[in-house]
A and B are shown apart, each in its own frame.
Chain A
Amino acid sequence: MSRYELRFSGAGGQGLITAGIILAEAASIHEGKQAVQSQSYGPEARGGASKSEVIISDAPVDYPKVTACDALLALTQEACDKYTHDLKEGGILLYDSEFVTRLPEGNFKKVGFNIISTAKNEVGREIVANIVALGAMISLTGVISRENGLKAVLSRVPEAFLELNEKAYAAGFDKAAAAAAA
């Protein structure tokens, strides 16, 4: 696999940097690929547009940032407006269908579902919205296997929250697949 570039974007505090770290760790440690995760965020601890970028490749990754984005997650309208400009033709845009209502023009696949509401109402805690989104991104891109993604999620989560996160990951994975097929 040559260089594959992903970006997780939304508001600070939504756990997007964590989602990026888990994906990169899954690719690097569990899947045996080369991966780099980097981030950019404002001075605020909460709020403000936040992004986390992951580059996955079979070869060593030199430039650690996105050059032309293969797959992008946007959890807020602000992030969608700010970070979709370099989404590749034929790329994938995953968005929260409740919070992102104006979609960018472009020849890429747009897949939306209620990511945050899924975490809150179906899984049970809004805090795992990032894991729902992570499951969805892995499902849509196939950049790593479902199993390796789950392994990385569970290795990063405290014992008491294993089940919650496993449920969130599965919900995201399956809902994205259904939304993409629709």
Chain B
Amino acid sequence: MSKKVAFLQGNEAAAQGALYAGCNFFAGYPITPSTEVAEVMSIELPKVGGKFIQMEDEIGAYAAVLGAALTGKKALDATSGPGLSLKQELIGYACIAEIPCVLINVMRGGPSTGMPTGPSQSDVMAAKWGTHGDHASITLVPASVQECYDMTVQAFNLAEKFRMPVLVMPDEIIAHMRERIEFREPGEIEIINRTEPTVPPAEYKPYDTRFGDVPPLAAFGSGYKFHVTGLNKMQDGFPTTKAEIVQAEEERQVRKVMDKVDEIVDFEEFKMDDAEICVVAYGSTSRSARYAVNAAREKGIKVGMFRLKTFWPFPDKQIKAIAAKVKGFVVPEMNLGMCSVEVERCNEGKAQILTVNRVDGEPLNPEQILVKIKEVK
């Protein structure tokens, strides 16, 4: 049987991916360049018995998503930079209260209102460090329309598996461009649902570590009663200031992700086998990089690309291994240097690092990367 294909925009594909993953709740507040996600969800969710709510603002939207997620829904929100800033307090809340949900943040120029219709990659640090306090982040960065679909499915799986908020962050170019995509058949991608409690309601604790680093999460309304707070909490969900409990809980919430980093981190290596230069790229910039790598190879330059599919957790192990082999890195980004800071950290002074940075609302083009590849000594 031939697969269902369509010619879709990245945002439309992300919404379709959410539906495939079983998303049944969307709350949002429209903002360019993410609005098409909300548009598709508003049309499609009612058809599958889901709920769509346009909230009064970005904060209310994410709050609604957290509430819905606690009742057992697979909940989605979509926004862009200014909305990401507004949601940061609640992203922290989702981290500490361990609420599984997905946020699609389409990157446009910033800070503040910035350039609503221009592309950018300047939210990748805000994805992890925007909310205060120690916490792990899972942030996926698609580079094609198909990946907008697939990574949104993956984001829901990771959110449910690790019981935490997950971000999908296409840049404006990826979110708005159109390509052919294949809809996944039922069963083609495994769908992960959260672990539900096996104990009766009277014995249930929402952070019961007897069941491992990711404790089962009961759905409100299913007979289980529990307390949810943004304060440091005990296993029963009530606040505590007991030093040893706070220390253990804080460490667990980071460890639950970092212990599984090899399972979570996804990447692509392109022409890296004999590469002496490595371009580290993600999102639409990786498409420019692929063009530049091919052009440089035609001139006999031994260059390859390491493409991040997972921005957080950062692929430390892989970049460290490459740093030991290559003479230089080229890091192109539509920001003034964010991924390059992480590459520097992993590089530990071994290889030369050159950056290509563009923040004028225009796409970072292959020629700019090619020029830098040639500058590596």
Chain A interface (Cβ < 8 Å from any Cβ of B): 21, 24-25, 28-29, 34-43, 61-65, 67
Is residue B7 within 8 Å, beta carbon to beta carbon, of the partner chain?
yes
Is residue B5 within 8 Å, beta carbon to beta carbon, of the partner chain?
yes
Contacts of A63 in B (CB 8 A): 287-288, 290-291, 365-366
Q: For chain B, which range describes its interface: under 10, 10 to 19, 20 to 34, or 35 or more residues?
A: 20 to 34
Is residue B208 within 8 Å, beta carbon to beta carbon, of the partner chain?
no
Contacts of B237 in A (CB 8 A): none
A24 nearest CB neighbor, chain B only: B178
| Distance in Å: Cβ of A7 to nearest Cβ of chain B | 14
Is residue B371 within 8 Å, beta carbon to beta carbon, of the partner chain?
no
Are the C-beta atoms of B5 and A39 separated by less than 8 Å? no
Given contacts A35-B179, A38-B176, A63-B366, 12 further A-B contacts (CB under 8 A): A28-B179, A34-B180, A35-B180, A36-B179, A39-B177, A62-B288, A62-B294, A63-B288, A64-B173, A65-B363, A65-B365, A67-B365
Are the C-beta atoms of B177 and A64 separated by less than 8 Å? yes
Contacts of A62 in B (CB 8 A): 287-288, 290-291, 294
Most A C-beta atoms less than 10 A away, residue of B7, B287, B366: B7
Q: List 14 A-B contacts (CB under 8 A).
A: A24-B7, A25-B7, A25-B178, A28-B7, A28-B180, A29-B7, A36-B178, A37-B178, A38-B177, A42-B117, A62-B288, A62-B291, A65-B365, A67-B291
> Which residues of B (362-377) have their CB < 8 Å from a CB of A?
363, 365-367
SS of A interface (majority): mixed
Question: Quick one: CB contact mask for B252-295 with A, threshold 8 Å, 1 for yes?
Answer: 00000000000000000000000000000000100110110010
Contacts of B291 in A (CB 8 A): 62-63, 67
Q: Which of A36, A41, A61 contacts B117 (CB 8 A)?
A: A41
Are the C-beta atoms of B180 and A29 separated by less than 8 Å? yes
> Which residues of B (288-316) have their CB < 8 Å from a CB of A?
288, 290-291, 294
B179 nearest CB neighbor, chain A only: A36
Are the C-beta atoms of B7 and A43 separated by less than 8 Å? no
B118 nearest CB neighbor, chain A only: A40
Contacts of B179 in A (CB 8 A): 28, 35-37, 61
With A29-B5, A63-B288, A63-B365 already in contact, the answer to whether A43 and B177 are too (CB < 8 A) is no
Is residue B92 within 8 Å, beta carbon to beta carbon, of the partner chain?
no
Q: How far is the CA of A144 from the CA of B363 in the complex (A)?
A: 27
Is residue B116 within 8 Å, beta carbon to beta carbon, of the partner chain?
yes
A36 nearest CB neighbor, chain B only: B179
A25 nearest CB neighbor, chain B only: B7
With A43-B117, A63-B288, A64-B284 already in contact, the answer to whether A36 and B177 are too (CB < 8 A) is yes
Contacts of A61 in B (CB 8 A): 179
Contacts of B363 in A (CB 8 A): 65
Q: How far is the CA of A165 from the CA of B237 in the complex (A)?
A: 62
Contacts of A65 in B (CB 8 A): 173, 363, 365
Q: Which of A24, A34, A42, A64 contacts B287 (CB 8 A)?
A: A64
Question: Quick one: CB contact mask for B335-372 with A, threshold 8 Å, 1 for yes?
Answer: 00000000000000000000000000001011100000
> Which residues of B (103-144) have their CB < 8 Å from a CB of A?
116-117
| Distance in Å: Cβ of B283 to nearest Cβ of chain A | 11
Contacts of A64 in B (CB 8 A): 173, 177, 284, 287
A32 nearest CB neighbor, chain B only: B180
Are the C-beta atoms of A38 and B173 separated by less than 8 Å? yes
| Distance in Å: Cβ of B212 to nearest Cβ of chain A | 41
Q: How far is the CA of A64 from the CA of B284 in the complex (A)?
A: 8
Q: How far is the CA of A64 from the CA of B367 in the complex (A)?
A: 14
Q: How far is the CA of A41 from the CA of B108 in the complex (A)?
A: 13
Q: Which of A25, A35, A38, A67 contacts B366 (CB 8 A)?
A: A67
